[in-house]
Amino acid sequence: MQALEIKKDIYWVGAVDYASRDFHGYSLCPQGTTYNTYVALDEKNVLFDTVKHGFSEVMLQRLSNVIAPEKIDYLVVNHVELDHAGALPHIIKICKPEAVFCSPMGQKAIEAHFKGWADWPLRVVKTGDSISIGKRSVHFVETRMLHWPDSMFSYIPEEKLLISNDAFGQNIASSERFADEINREVLEHAMTEYYYNIVLPYSQQVLKTLALAEELKLDIDMIAPDHGLIFRGKDDVRYALETYRRFAEQKPQKRALIVYDTMWHSTEKMAYAIAEGLNQEGVPVRIMDMKNNHHSAVMTELARCGLVVAGSPTHNNTILPYMAAMLTYMKGLRPQNRIGGAFGSFGWSGECLKILTEHLEGMGFELPVEPVKVKYVPGEDALEQCTEMGRALALALKTKCGG
Ligand code: FEO
């Protein structure tokens, strides 16, 4: 288990989890993930974050390649979520650091997570606080709700290194450690998947944090997140920052997502007819049915879509359960600046449109076109009505996107 030097006397000593496909119990990570940990060797040796429970031995083996674990002086807990702090009690026991640094909210989270915390040498730090570790210093920046209240960045100005915890992370398990070593489209897809399933609700905090980084004049030539690949060099740092700004701003995009579930394929036929109308007006569309797509894959697709058209038949006076779950998940992630549309088939009571519309309006989506419902099976007229709905939605989307 080799450590990797990312800056002079600063090493990646994390763990690669090739097997995981489940991230935090709610999102898929089809490419696995990593739990990145970094160690800076100086007059004081500092470890930044730990790993998920079960990966501490791998991490300790890597660490031992560059320094005996008991020679760690300081441990920085940038985030208490258990993919970074699951191994914290074990690592503290082995390393016996003289200080464990965390944010004020980090202390509260540590107290709520771990039984033995009262014996730990906790030192609370806030934005603007810094510590000297010898030739270098570590400056702390609280990043509350990016994406937990305790989240924090560690910045080493002498190395122009930002250790960013979850921010800028991607779920990629690989032997590569740097973003410039893999295909850029693969990287951006993984960044999108991560942002749209984890960070999206906190987009305002992202914009504030980017503004704060400018205000503090942080000179950065490396961003080292706690998941995935490291951005090295000014160009890749700029790319990471600009990508996050773009994700957070959520400017409308001329692309549509049709997401639906179906019983006897009536709602499905409607979905394809709506897609035809969108295509006729030159709007690219992706159709995703909820029996074959995970909700986190739908969110990843949503990143490039300014229009969401949701379909479900009426079932037992409500909508089908996969669609209810999808829309509940989507609402929690608070996408902004979207247009919506609703459609579905019904047999007798026909509540689907009311329920779908409530979900979409609940997310603040504009609904510029009357929803369409069809009794039992759509005939030619009904399908033409759906296609017309697609055309009207396309025009509304193009207007929102500025033509
Ligand atoms: Fe990677 Fe919020 O944990």
Domain over 4-249 is classified CATH 3.40.50.300: no
Atom in ligand 1 nearest the alpha carbon of residue 151: 2
- Read off φ and ψ for residue 83, nearest 5 degrees: -75, -15
pLDDT band at 102 (very low <50, low <70, confident <90, very high): very high
Mean pLDDT of the chain: 97
- pTM of the entire structure? 0.97
Residue 81 annotated as catalytic: yes
Tell me the sheet residues that pair with 40. 10, 46
Does the pLDDT at position 216 exceed 90? Answer: no
- Residue 112 CA, chain-centre distance (Å), reads 24
Residue 188: exposed, middle, or buried by beta-carbon count in 10 A (0-12, 13-18, 19+)?
middle
pLDDT score recorded for residue 1: 86
Q: Do 4-249 and 256-400 come out as alike in CATH topology?
A: no
Domain over 256-400 is classified CATH 3.40.50.360: yes
Atom in ligand 1 nearest the alpha carbon of residue 147: 2
Quote the radius of gyration of the chain (alpha carbons, Å).
24
Give 140-191 pLDDT, tens digit per residue.
Answer: 999 999 999 999 999 999 999 999 999 999 999 999 999 999 999 999 999 9
Q: Whose CA is nearest to atom 3 of ligand 1?
A: 81
Residue 83 annotated as catalytic: yes
- Give the single-character DSSP code of 178: B
pLDDT band at 7 (very low <50, low <70, confident <90, very high): very high
Give me the residue spans of the domains in the chain.
4-249, 256-400
* Angstrom distances, CA of residue 233 to CA of 33, 219, 236, 247, 281: 23, 11, 6, 21, 42
How far is ligand 1, taken at its centre, from the CA of residue 33, in Å? 11
Q: What is the mean pLDDT of residues 77-96?
A: 98
How far is ligand 1, taken at its centre, from the CA of residue 297, in Å? 19
List, in sequence order, every beta strand (DSSP E) within 119-190: 122-124, 130-132, 137-142, 152-156, 161-165
Residue 227 annotated as catalytic: yes
Share of the chain above pLDDT 90, in %: 98
Place of tokens 């000014």: 234
Residue 79 annotated as catalytic: yes
Ligand 1 is surrounded, with C-beta below 6 A, by 79, 81, 83-84, 147-148, 166, 226-227
Q: Whose CA is nearest to atom 1 of ligand 1?
A: 166
Q: What residues have CB less than 8 Å from 200, skipping those under 6 apart?
A: 247, 299, 333, 334, 335
Contact (CB, 8 A) for 224 and 252:
no
Look at residue 42 and give its three-state secondary structure.
coil
Strand 307-311 and strand 285-289: pairing?
Answer: unpaired
For the chain, the first-to-last Cα distance in angstroms comes to: 54
Say which amino acid occupies 176. Answer: E
How far is ligand 1, taken at its centre, from the CA of residue 275, in Å? 37
pLDDT score recorded for residue 75: 98
pLDDT score recorded for residue 231: 98
Does the pLDDT at position 403 exceed 80? Answer: no
- Give the single-character DSSP code of 10: E
Give 262-310 pLDDT, tens digit per residue.
Answer: 999 999 999 999 999 999 999 999 999 999 999 999 999 999 999 999 9
Distance, CA of 397 to CA of 216 (rounded, Å): 38
